[in-house]
Amino acid sequence: MRSLAWVLALAVALTASCGPRQAQPITAFDGRLADWSRDILADSPELASSAGVSEEAAGGPYGARLDDRSPMAVEARRSAATRRYAELRALDRDALNERQRLIYAVLEAQFEAASDAAAFEYGDFSSLAGARPYILNQLDSAFLTLPSFLDERHQVASAEDAEAYITRLRLAAEAIDAETERARADAARGVRPPLAIIDLTLSQLDAIIGQPAIQQIYVTSLQRKLAALAAAETDATQRAALEQRHLGYVARAEEIVRQRIIPAHQRAAAFLRSERGNASDDPGASRLPRGAEYYAALLRLETTTDLTPAQIHRIGLDRVATLNNELDIALRRVGLTEGPVGARLTQLTLDPRYSYEDSDAGRAQLLADVRARITRVMERAPQWFGRMPQAPLEVRRVPAFLEAAAPGAYYSPPALDGSTPGIYYINLRALGEMTRIDLPTQDFHEAAPGHHFQIALAQELTDSPLLLRLVSFNAYSEGWGLYAEELADEQGFHEGDPVGRIGFLRWQLWRAARLVVDTGLHAQGWSRQRAIDYLIATTGDAPGIIATEVDRYIVWPGQACGYELGRREIMRLREQARNELGPDFDLRGFHDAVLLNGEVPLAVLDDIVAAWIPEQRRLAERERRRR
């Protein structure tokens, strides 16, 4: 990517500690931004629903639509990504003001990376969410994402909303079939998931197929929402009439699931079974058409750097070695002195003192502990942040139908219109995988002061263009989550809890090991088992967690590299600012500078902090004079 040094003079980050920005006149550039956001949202009604934007911003009604997953639509999406990048490059940068130059720099990085990824005709592609090599997989295929989307994001507050839900159910079957069609076309190009991924995906499809329609989340979610709608009616007669009418909606939903959606799952499963004999055990992207180029494009997209796989692999190995030394000391302090670090971590993980009881009571206790810990963070966070997120944060367990292949935890952002909160999901499939060793650090990463602060604050920048609040940069986002873990450690959240601090160090170790494993799988010919064995030996974590993680790296190349690369850049910038400012360094101001411009590529973040340092120095000098 080209240098972004020309935005060094931007004062945009400086307003982070000084309140809202001044309103600016609408310009032709602003109009272009609105056109692009409308273009992207019109193409993705699911994104529009998740973001909670107006129909005007989305280019028209979207509440009864789903994303078009047909081959023609995806090809149009690729063409649009290339077109938007060309349109951006055609703009006169010299005519832009300082704020617009920052926006240009952010979009240039996003549009360029998307355009590069769009050059490959296989796999999945979306305008903002990036690219994946396998359309049918265990992580983010339509048969998994659509039930969650309709459950979490489709509000039912009226009869019209219920009808829209029914319409979307019909479209869900079409979406699943469209992905099967595209997977079939990719297989003809020689692009199919490795055998382990096919089998895992088949197990998920079979589980859904075997569940009665009336019990599927498509139906139970609608039932729950309609029940809440009826319960809000105070007149008993009207409430009874509503409940009777709602029975009809549920019956229609059940029929659609039984007659359309389940058969679509059956067709997807039949296709995957037909491909098992053609599948390879090789998990790497390097075996795909133009595989090395494809992986390089995904690394640029996910890390916003030009680092090569070999460079990333070496960074990972060096960081693993550093963390092993720290962990050796920490483990000795709790009496674990014999054997490699990974083996001692395994011994610690298996210690029943740090496990929750695998029961409903144990799950309830785990959730209670998480909520209490997050409350403590939120109470202290104003010491570290000049601005706090206004969106509420909820803790929920991962829906049962997603537990098998979902990660240990993840964060779902609040809607822009406030209709849904930020949600921290915790996977409670097996409590042996969710110990008191690691859980605190997971909370700090996914919830507070991690993704909830980073994402909710960005969405609350109402003076920023909508498009800037929609774009996402993996290295920035996951880098902040990993930095937030380190911040919590620095602020004493592991004091008196040496085992919890070992968990923190192990999470840092995990992210370093991901650099090694992701590049090993996709650029150095590693097998799936070699990746699993390396992570077991390195992290000492539970085999079930490790297998799930490796399978995620296989179907999402490059994404796992964003965490450590982003963290090290944020930490480097903080230390640079601290060294240059000395006693004038302000942690709250630094965090606001990093967070209150939304998600940005790492090169732009460098420029933002470079601009913040002299402004912070001026503010500190002004304060001294005032005194």
For 521-531, the pLDDT digits (tens) are 999 999 999 99
Q: CA 618, CA 613: separation in Å to the nearest integer? A: 9
Is the pLDDT at 22 greater than 60? The verdict is: no
SS3 393: strand
Question: How far is CA 568 from each of CA 127, 255, 317, 343, 480, rounded to the nearest angstrom?
Answer: 27, 52, 14, 27, 10
- The phi and psi torsions of 161 (rounded to 5 degrees) equal -65, -40
429-453 average pLDDT score:
93
**Is the distance from CB of 396 to CB of 423 less than 8 angstroms?**
yes
- Which H or E element spans position 429? none
Q: What percent of the chain has pLDDT over 70?
A: 96
For the purposes of burial, counting CB atoms within 10 Å of the CB of 263, is it exposed (0-12), middle (13-18) or buried (19 or more)?
middle
Give the Cα separation of 107 and 620 in Å (integer). Answer: 32
Burial letters for 127-165: b for 16+ Cβ neighbours within 10 Å, e otherwise? beebbbbbbbbbbbbbbbebbbbbbbbbbbeeeebbebb
What pLDDT is recorded for position 3?
35
Model confidence pLDDT, tens digit, residues 118-151: 999 999 999 888 899 999 999 999 999 999 999 9
0.85 exceeded by pTM: yes
Domain boundaries, the chain: 134-287
Inter-axis angle of helices 498-523 and 291-303, nearest 10: 150
For residue 44, the one-letter residue type is S
Range scoring the smallest mean pLDDT among 244-253, 303-312, 386-395, 537-546: 537-546
CB 593 within 8 A of CB 613: no
> Which of 428-432, 448-452, 561-565 shows the lowest mean pLDDT across its residues?
428-432
Rounded Cα–Cα distance for residues 461 and 465 (Å): 9
At 377-406, the pLDDT tens digits run 999 999 999 999 999 999 999 887 778 767
323/346 Cα distance (integer angstroms):
16
Cβ atoms of 407 and 427 closer than 8 Å: yes
Residue found by looking up tokens 């500690």 in the block: 17
3-state secondary structure of 557: coil
Across 361-432, the runs of DSSP E, i.e. the strands, are: 393-397, 409-412, 422-426
Token code pair at residue 306: 């030009």
Q: Is 166 exposed, middle or buried (0-12, 13-18, 19+ CB in 10 A)?
A: middle
Whether 153 and 420 have beta carbons less than 8 Å apart is answered as yes
Q: Taking residues 277-293, report their average pLDDT.
A: 97
Residue 479 pLDDT class (50, 70, 90 cuts): very high
pLDDT of residue 449: 98
Dist CA 180 CA 272 (whole Å) = 9
The pLDDT of 307-312, averaged and rounded, is 98
**Using CA of residue 335, residue 340, residue 345, residue 347, what is the dihedral sign?**
negative
The number of beta carbons lying within 10 Å of the beta carbon of residue 23 is 7
Distance CA(60)–CA(44), nearest Å, equals: 12
CB burial string 353-381: b at 16+ within 10 A, e below: ebbbeeeeeebeebbeebeebbeebbeeb
Tell me 387's DSSP state: S
* Cα dihedral: 285, 288, 293, 296 (round 10): -10
Strand order in the sheet with 422-426: 393-397, 422-426, 409-412
Of 558, 554, 557, whose CA–CA distance to 529 is shortest? 554
Q: In angstroms, rounded to a whole number, what is the distance separating the alpha carbons of residues 472 and 154? A: 22
The single residue listed with the structure tokens 């912070």 is: 616
Q: Which residue has the higher pLDDT, 23 or 113?
A: 113
**Rounded mean pLDDT of the chain?**
93
Which stretches does DSSP call E strand in 213-353?
none
pLDDT at 206 over 90: yes
In one-letter notation, the amino acid at residue 556 is W
Instruction: Output the CA angle 61-65-70, nearest 5 degrees.
Output: 130
Q: What is the pLDDT of residue 24?
A: 56
Nearest to 552 by CA among 405, 403, 404: 405
Strand partners, 411: 424
